[in-house]
Structure 1
């Protein structure tokens, strides 16, 4: 059931908070927020409502969620922010269900999205490559623990909006403790000079760059029976935190299944035991997960947030900002790991992003274009 707020005092407080969020977003990401005007984007509401009636009539929750976005499209356009621990730019296009994008136009122009394939694994590879380089220096030059920690902390800070002591994320409640993270990594590197050989890390990098990481994991987990197929569905056991038990989860495709396993392995607490799929995945990439579990330490929630902020800094503060500086009249819409523009300019956007990513990551990256 939907409720409509009518209390004047509460509405005033909400409006004031929305305005404060917009001002922060405009200050930090004006090159993106400037496009979110009510008259620039149009939604074909008649077609969207017809689609809704045909696709979600038996799913009340999904129906009403989408109905809200359709009916309030113009009002939601001007509700955007860039605050929170993920450092992302949040707008109607990051909140709106993806299947409604097809009904949105920029004036009369179609919109095309350029998406970074396997975005967070790519940024993970970038971080791991830096750690591997520091580890090699540590072996060859016998860096002291203090020197090792200093280099790792500098690396961690450089990839997120955390390096400037006066920056937003150093003076807000969302600051990531890079000192703790660097201490965790330095400790594991110091203790594992012989056992941490990075062979499987290099394999992981190769698979991610080639865009076949999930196909590889699928093969490994199907062979070990950690993932199994039944009646055209794919199953694995995952931990249900709310219930405190392991339970079977079903997926329509093997990719969705192994991607969920991978995300659980990356982001769950390092002491997760008894989950065959995660344990078998960690056996395939032992050094990789030794480092990841060290980074997570006891506060495992910092790690996914750190990767999101690596992604956000590149997409929002490096890539899109440079593109806007070169092409100030080019429409830019950000959606987490993607940028969108009008169909006419989408190939140009893809070429620029491709080049910037290659220079930033120092290895080639696959991008895909998809029409809204």
Structure 2
């Protein structure tokens, strides 16, 4: 088990100067280091916490590894004074958050646990990995033959750290370097983690959480990898929400909506009978209960009343971002030199609360509403009670299609094809890239009802050397 701790943390000297006075059990230094490791490591495996000052640590997790964890926390916070606590706890919602004092927010080093008893306790974390490996064997079985060019990856990470330290004022630049360093070491040491979250059912692994440029240092059995990405994936997946068949429900063998709309109403919209078997619907998703029943009728009413073809056409032809880029320039005299700014605008529309429309920073959102009022109305209904409903729904659609449909079919029809999923993309070797792309095209077209735009990204160590 690898632990990551601050390079400037002289824990032996600190303990000598401030010896622990634990009452019930013997003090073990590796348990202390494990808590420090969690504060540093949790943001690596969960990107949601990377911008947080305090990292929440679940007490159940701690107690499963350290029975008297409260003594260790008290020792770190009040005696050694190297950790701070926000003291904010909400039962069932939020654990207390912890952060290292600024002095110790430095480059990390690797510490390997030697205590056999504690190492066994930590190995229980691997049990969860094993469970995921069994359930998603078609994805997890390839990791053992995944390799990383350690020297080139570390050289790149260190070079970027030096450059960014001189040219940027970003305060968490050291954290970014640490995430890169930890990603490199974990793959190099074969310390893989595989998790499927219970919120949107995305599959997370070392590949999904590492800096994207470092993927160029990866190889499978000595072969380079090629990633096939879905362009404009979130807008693309959102087009299925504009199809009434997505919201359909089967009752007594007759397919109807929740407000009783019959299949004939769908046929009048140009839907074929086979569409009922092919297109994905919300009831196939694990998060099918996130949309309140009463909201379904309003959603379907909105869909039947409006025409979304203009927006859908821009999305499936890959012209949405370019169109928005030009409109922003015309309307607000703002020029985006790349797609990142426009992408951020789309994410603002998808992810922000409806009330945000009244804020000064919401100009891009207002522009989108003026350009696509029908689309905005649909999104507004879905997010009315909870702004996270729309992004959660889109991510659940993504994970279902990529993990449960496409990857599963590839593994069944081409069992020798190595596949690695990274949310809305799948990486494989040159031998199988055409096959994987073909399956992605076929399944996405069948399940979404619109042809996707796919692009290839070639991972190669030379890409790191050019930067």
TM-score calculated relative to the size of structure 1: 0.77
SS in 2 for 1:86: coil
- Per-residue deviation, residues 139-181 of structure 1 (Å, max 9, x unmatched): xxxx9974259x99x9753352256xxxxxxxxxxxx423x1x
What is the CA distance between 1:83 and its match in structure 2?
2.3
Q: Using the alignment, how far apart are the partners of 2:139 and 2:299 within structure 1?
A: 40
What is the CA distance between 1:118 and its match in structure 2?
1.3
1:216 to 323, 344, 349: 323
Name the stretch that deviates more: 353-362 or 111-120: 353-362
Name the counterpart of 2:385: 298
Listed as ranges, the matches of 1:273-352 within 5 Å are: 273-274=358-359, 275-352=362-439
1:183 to 286, 294, 297: 294
Relative contact order: is structure 1 or structure 2 higher (C-alpha 8 Å, sep ≥ 6)?
1
Name the counterpart of 2:152: 47
2:124 to 16, 25, 30: 16
Q: Using the alignment, how far apart are the partners of 2:202 and 2:299 within structure 1?
A: 30
- Per-residue deviation, residues 59-114 of structure 1 (Å, max 9, x unmatched): 43322221222223244652111123121111100011111011111121111111
SS in 2 for 1:115: strand
Name the counterpart of 1:93: 207
**Contact 2:299 2:381 (C-alpha < 8 Å) held by counterparts:** yes
**Contact 1:159 1:310 (C-alpha < 8 Å) held by counterparts:** no
**Contact 2:280 2:448 (C-alpha < 8 Å) held by counterparts:** no
Structure 1 residue 202 and structure 2 residue 309: aligned? yes
Name the counterpart of 2:38: none
What is the CA distance between 1:127 and its match in structure 2?
1.9
Q: Which runs of 5+ in 1 are unaligned?
A: 135-142, 164-175, 235-252
Q: Using the alignment, how far apart are the partners of 2:317 and 2:181 within structure 1?
A: 40
Name the stretch that deviates more: 26-35 or 278-287: 26-35
- Per-residue deviation, residues 217-266 of structure 1 (Å, max 9, x unmatched): 111222110x614xxxx4xxxxxxxxxxxxxxxxxx34211111111111
Decide which structure has the larger Cα Rg and report it: 2
Q: Using the alignment, how far apart are the partners of 1:321 and 1:36 within structure 2?
A: 16
Q: Using the alignment, how far apart are the partners of 2:433 and 2:232 within structure 1?
A: 20
Q: Using the alignment, how far apart are the partners of 2:312 and 2:408 within structure 1?
A: 28
Name the counterpart of 1:257: 341
Name the counterpart of 2:350: 266
Q: Using the alignment, how far apart are the partners of 2:418 and 2:287 within structure 1?
A: 28
1:109 to 198, 223, 246: 223
What is the CA distance between 1:188 and its match in structure 2?
5.4
**Contact 1:124 1:307 (C-alpha < 8 Å) held by counterparts:** yes
**Contact 2:183 2:210 (C-alpha < 8 Å) held by counterparts:** yes
Name the counterpart of 1:2: 5
Q: Which runs of 5+ in 2 are unaligned?
A: 10-28, 35-64, 67-117, 166-172, 249-255, 267-278, 460-467
User: Are the structure 2 counterparts of residues 74 and 133 from structure 1 closer, same or farther at C-alpha, using a change threshold of 3 Å?
Assistant: closer
**Contact 1:113 1:339 (C-alpha < 8 Å) held by counterparts:** yes
Q: Using the alignment, how far apart are the partners of 1:295 and 1:131 within structure 2?
A: 16
Name the stretch that deviates more: 353-362 or 121-130: 353-362
Q: Give the CA RMSD over aligned residues.
A: 3.0
Q: Using the alignment, how far apart are the partners of 2:196 and 2:190 within structure 1?
A: 15
Q: Using the alignment, how far apart are the partners of 2:281 and 2:441 within structure 1?
A: 24
SS in 1 for 2:427: strand
**Contact 1:185 1:291 (C-alpha < 8 Å) held by counterparts:** no
Q: Using the alignment, how far apart are the partners of 1:156 and 1:362 within structure 2?
A: 11
Q: Using the alignment, how far apart are the partners of 1:333 and 1:295 within structure 2?
A: 32
Name the stretch that deviates more: 358-367 or 300-309: 358-367
SS in 2 for 1:358: helix
Residues paired across the two proteins, number? 319
Structure 1 residue 360 and structure 2 residue 447: aligned? yes
Listed as ranges, the matches of 1:24-173 within 5 Å are: 24-37=131-144, 40-57=145-162, 58=165, 59-75=173-189, 77-130=191-244, 146-147=259-260, 157-162=282-287
- Per-residue deviation, residues 10-47 of structure 1 (Å, max 9, x unmatched): 46555323422x2442343110011122xx12211111
User: Are the structure 2 counterparts of residues 24 and 303 from structure 1 closer, same or farther at C-alpha, using a change threshold of 3 Å?
Assistant: farther
**Contact 1:24 1:83 (C-alpha < 8 Å) held by counterparts:** no
SS in 1 for 2:369: helix
